[in-house]
């Protein structure tokens, strides 16, 4: 494109977030080293983010350079074509739900379908963001080993990026997680250590502590720790949030997301609220969804630590307070139990054709509750709900009647 190698390296301070943009141009179809694996995706988003931000600190020359970079990236590949799998992370559709909402008169529910990311979940986004930061800061060296505790999806996101970029992976998982997730991680070349679920986080046998120990024992290991890693919420400030803003043009009354590490709700909530403020429109109400047995809702409402107890639904709820969560972004937290999650996930598959995990069912139930409450008082709500993953890993659980019966659920009485 007439430019052999040009880099823009602006740094911009925005709401305490430091953004470093490094764009490599292609020459004769080859990315100049070091190739920016997600030039077609994250850099676009980052450049737009910086340009859309209050950009008093940016010189005109810098702005024009960044606009040129954006145009070059956009022109470099046709829509939906990527240099590699990592560049295809995110870009997920926002889908209007039409059947489960049939009883509503005015309110709408729209689902962000994260199963469409190449690794099958929203966690692809943070896998990429955490690895890129670790490379930049020198925490992860070529050929190094990523050691992480995961409920499965973050492991899959990390393993996908690791396979593509030549890292080894060791994951620790609680023993309640679906076998399919473990098999998938092993299929992608990871070593998986299964740890007891029913122990406290500080117990040396817990999947958190085993991951921490292994990261010290293994040479060249790096421990992302998604629960405290600030690249987790940032990944959503830089990708999920801007995608949602673009897909809705800011027309959202409520944003609903389940809370595990809290990265999704923190990053998306921050981005959507900051954009609304900048555009002078009402900010969406940010509603978190917690699992019955978790301590997050009580912590948010009362500032006290409850006593956690076991539950079956996977991926959200915690027995400690994850530093990745910024509770100040959240307006309200609602609670769902296993049965609500499983029943609604099955209904979503049968009525809307969206085959998703149990946490998606829980989030959707809350979105529908909010919609119904607004309908009742004659208000029109437009609710965006995040559906974090696919149903495939749960075929032996949420979608298996025998497993449900064995675990005490009266599936025969379920309408869906
Ligand atoms: N649902 C599923 C299936 C997940 O894997 C996760 C991530 N653990 C979540 C919900 C919660 O997302 P977050 O960690 O960003 O709060």
Higher pLDDT, 277 or 50: 277
Task: Supply the pLDDT for residue 362.
Answer: 98
CA of 233 to the centre of ligand 1 (A): 12
Closest Cα to atom 2 of ligand 1: 315
Least confident range from 93-107, 132-146, 173-187, 329-343: namely 173-187
Residues 61-67: what's their mean pLDDT?
55
Closest Cα to atom 5 of ligand 1: 315
How would residue 82 be classed by pLDDT, with cut points 50, 70 and 90? confident
Q: Is 391 in the pocket of ligand 1 (CB under 6 A)?
A: no
Task: Supply the pLDDT for residue 68.
Answer: 54
Task: Supply the pLDDT for residue 147.
Answer: 98
Which residues is 291 bridged to in the sheet?
A: 336
Task: Supply the pLDDT for residue 83.
Answer: 84
Q: Which helix (H) or strand (E) holds 27?
A: strand 26-27
Distance of CA 293 to the CA centre of its chain: 22
- Note the pLDDT tens digit of each residue in 190-232: 999 999 998 988 999 999 999 999 999 999 999 999 999 999 9
CATH topology assigned to domain 94-119+230-413: Rossmann fold (3.40.50)
Q: Among 26, 112, 123, 181, which one carries the catalytic annotation?
A: 123
Closest by CA to 306, choosing from 316, 322, 325, 321, is 321
Least confident range from 83-87, 97-101, 225-229, 342-346: namely 83-87
94-119+230-413 and 123-222 in the same fold: yes
Identify which of 113, 115, 121, 123 to mutate to test ligand 1's pocket (most ligand atoms within 8 A of the CB): 123
Phi then psi for residue 65, to 5 deg, are: -60, -40
Higher pLDDT, 73 or 344: 344
CA of 158 to the centre of ligand 1 (A): 14
Task: Supply the pLDDT for residue 151.
Answer: 84
Q: Is 394 in the pocket of ligand 1 (CB under 6 A)?
A: no
Which residues is 171 bridged to in the sheet?
A: 148, 192
Identify which of 112, 316, 392 to mutate to test ligand 1's pocket (most ligand atoms within 8 A of the CB): 316
CB 193 within 8 A of CB 170: yes
pLDDT at position 48 over 60:
no
Asked if the bond preceding 34 is cis, omega within 30° of 0, the reply is yes
The reply to whether 123 belongs to the active site is: yes
pLDDT at position 10 over 70:
no
Closest by CA to 318, choosing from 292, 339, 337, is 292
Q: Which helix (H) or strand (E) holds 193?
A: strand 191-195
d(C-alpha 20, C-alpha 17), whole Å: 10
- Note the pLDDT tens digit of each residue in 166-191: 999 999 999 988 888 899 999 999 99
d(C-alpha 228, C-alpha 210), whole Å: 16
Residues 11-35: what's their mean pLDDT?
43
Closest Cα to atom 4 of ligand 1: 315
- Note the pLDDT tens digit of each residue in 359-368: 999 999 999 9
Residues 100-123: what's their mean pLDDT?
97
Q: Which helix (H) or strand (E) holds 370?
A: helix 358-376
Q: Is 388 in the pocket of ligand 1 (CB under 6 A)?
A: yes
Task: Supply the pLDDT for residue 58.
Answer: 57
Closest Cα to atom 8 of ligand 1: 315
How would residue 64 be classed by pLDDT, with cut points 50, 70 and 90? low
CB 199 within 8 A of CB 206: yes
CA of 260 to the centre of ligand 1 (A): 5
CB 363 within 8 A of CB 370: no
Residues 9-33: what's their mean pLDDT?
43
Every domain of the chain and the residues it spans? 6-83, 94-119+230-413, 123-222
Give percent helix, percent strand, percent coil of the chain, each to the nearest 5. 40, 15, 40
CB atoms inside a 10 Å sphere around CB 366: 26
Which numbered atom of ligand 1 lies nearest the CA of 314?
A: 3
Q: Is 275 in the pocket of ligand 1 (CB under 6 A)?
A: no
Task: Supply the pLDDT for residue 415.
Answer: 81
Cα dihedral 245→248→252→257 (10° resolution): -70
Helix axes 263-278, 241-248, angle to 10 degrees: 50
Which residues is 287 bridged to in the sheet?
A: 256, 332
- Note the pLDDT tens digit of each residue in 234-287: 999 999 999 999 999 999 999 999 999 999 999 999 999 999 999 999 999 999
CA of 100 to the centre of ligand 1 (A): 23
Q: Is 153 in the pocket of ligand 1 (CB under 6 A)?
A: yes
Residues, the chain, total?
Answer: 416
Task: Supply the pLDDT for residue 24.
Answer: 47
- Note the pLDDT tens digit of each residue in 374-390: 999 999 999 999 999 99
The hierarchical CATH code for the domain 123-222 is 3.40.50.1100
Q: Under DSSP, is residue 174 helix (H, G, I), strand (E, B) or coil?
A: strand
Residues 22-36: what's their mean pLDDT?
43
Burial class (CB in 10 A: 0-12, 13-18, 19+), 18: exposed
Task: Supply the pLDDT for residue 15.
Answer: 38
Q: Are strands 108-113 and 94-96 parallel, antiparallel or unpaired?
A: antiparallel
CB atoms inside a 10 Å sphere around CB 94: 14
Q: Name the average pLDDT for the chain.
A: 87
Identify which of 130, 157, 184, 260 to mutate to test ligand 1's pocket (most ligand atoms within 8 A of the CB): 260
CB 416 within 8 A of CB 380: no
């Amino acid at each position: 494109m007439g430019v052999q190698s040009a880099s823009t390296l602006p740094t911009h301070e925005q709401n305490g977030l430091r953004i470093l943009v490094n764009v490599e141009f292609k020459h004769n179809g080859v990315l100049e080293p070091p190739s920016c694996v997600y030039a077609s995706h994250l850099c676009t988003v980052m450049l737009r983010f910086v340009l859309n931000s209050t950009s008093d600190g940016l010189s005109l020359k810098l702005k024009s350079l960044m606009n040129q970079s954006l145009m070059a990236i956009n022109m470099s590949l046709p829509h939906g074509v990527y240099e590699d799998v990592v560049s295809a992370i995110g870009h997920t559709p926002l889908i209007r739900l039409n059947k489960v909402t049939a009883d509503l008169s005015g309110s709408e529910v729209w689902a962000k379908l994260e199963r469409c990311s190449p690794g099958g979940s929203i966690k692809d986004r943070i896998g990429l963001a955490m690895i890129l930061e670790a490379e930049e800061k020198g925490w992860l060296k070529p050929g190094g080993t990523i050691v992480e505790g995961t409920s499965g999806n973050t492991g899959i996101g990390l393993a996908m990026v690791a396979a593509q970029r030549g890292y080894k992976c060791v994951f620790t998982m609680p023993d309640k997680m679906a076998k399919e997730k473990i098999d998938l991680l092993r299929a992608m070349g990871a070593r998986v250590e299964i740890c007891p679920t029913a122990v406290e986080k500080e117990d040396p046998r817990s999947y958190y502590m085993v991951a921490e120990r292994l990261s010290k024992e293994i040479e060249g290991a790096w421990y992302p720790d998604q629960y405290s890693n600030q690249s987790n919420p940032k990944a959503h400030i830089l990708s999920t949030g801007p995608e949602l803003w673009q897909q809705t043009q800011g027309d959202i009354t409520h944003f609903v997301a389940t809370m595990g590490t809290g990265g999704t709700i923190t990053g998306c909530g921050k981005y959507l609220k900051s954009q609304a403020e900048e555009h002078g429109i009402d900010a969406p109400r940010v509603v978190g969804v917690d699992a019955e047995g978790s301590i997050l809702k009580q912590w948010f409402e009362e500032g006290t630590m409850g006593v956690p107890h076991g539950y079956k639904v996977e991926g959200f709820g915690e027995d400690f307070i994850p530093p990745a969560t910024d509770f100040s972004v959240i307006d309200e937290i609602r609670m769902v139990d296993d049965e609500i999650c499983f029943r609604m996930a099955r209904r979503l598959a049968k009525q809307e054709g969206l085959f998703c995990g149990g946490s998606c069912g829980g989030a959707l139930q809350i979105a529908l509750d909010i919609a119904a409450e607004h309908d009742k008082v004659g208000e029109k709500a437009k609710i965006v709900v995040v559906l974090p993953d696919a149903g495939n890993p749960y075929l032996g659980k949420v979608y298996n009647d025998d497993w449900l019966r064995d675990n005490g659920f009266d599936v025969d009485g379920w309408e869906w």
